[in-house]
Amino acid sequence: MKLIFASHNQNKTREINQILGNFIQVYSLTDLGIHEEIPETGSTLPENALLKAQAAADITGLSVFADDTGLEVEALNGAPGVISARYAGPGKSALANMEKLLDELQGKSNRNARFVTCICLIINNEKHLFEGELKGRIGYEMRGDKGFGYDPLFIPEGDERTLAELSADEKNSISHRAKAIEKMRLFLETKLGSTQS
């Protein structure tokens, strides 16, 4: 089956296609020649996933899904959360976001944190939400040069390395996004399997 991913991010689209395998082919809005930006104006991750999926469904009339991810830090009452991409301000770099996070955590011994990904799938006019999380802690310094975003600061549970020190395959085998995508894949396989039998 074909699914539209409400995003222009070709790296994420490739990563999701790798996780989903042959059963489902994912195309980004860019792949369809649609360059419209969908604003993320929701105040929670599920709200943002829903509004992006709904906008893409309205534009394409096809089966679509959208994702939204945030880093939630326990000692900061869940911040940066839904504003993870713009924590240090609009248009600021991942480095600036990480520097702000280190500043905010100065003197705090509780470094527990988690990444959460929410996915909203719209198929046959029905909406379905899937969530994946990765628990871990925030390190005291940035380490590693792989990945993106907060990866150089995030140490997943059961490891001493940051996500930026893991290979892409290692990260994909534990990541919040991979877990949410896997839940969507299982749902689609079950749903389509039952309609075809």
Residues with catalytic function: 68
Q: Which of 15, 68, 72, 165 binds ligand IMP (CB under 6 A)?
A: 68
142-171: contacts with ligand IMP (CB under 6 A): 147-151, 163
Instruction: Enumerate residues 6+ apart whose C-beta is below 8 A from 16.
Output: 5, 26, 177, 181
Instruction: Enumerate residues 6+ apart whose C-beta is below 8 A from 80.
Output: 70, 71, 73, 87, 97, 101
Q: Which of 13, 28, 63, 84 binds ligand IMP (CB under 6 A)?
A: 84
97-116: contacts with ligand IMP (CB under 6 A): 97, 115
- Are residues 30 and 8 in contact, defined by beta-carbon separation less than 8 angstroms? yes
Q: Which is nearer to ligand IMP, 78 or 149 (CB)?
A: 149
Minimum distance from residue 140 beta carbon to ligand IMP (Å): 17
Cα torsion angle, 141, 78, 81, 125, sign: positive
159 φ/ψ angles, rounded to the nearest 5 degrees: -135, 160
Q: Which is nearer to ligand IMP, 47 or 192 (CB)?
A: 47
Q: Which of 59, 85, 102, 192 binds ligand IMP (CB under 6 A)?
A: 85
Residues in the chain: 197
**Interface residues toward ligand IMP, by CB under 6 A:** 68-71, 84-85, 94, 97, 115, 147-151, 163, 175
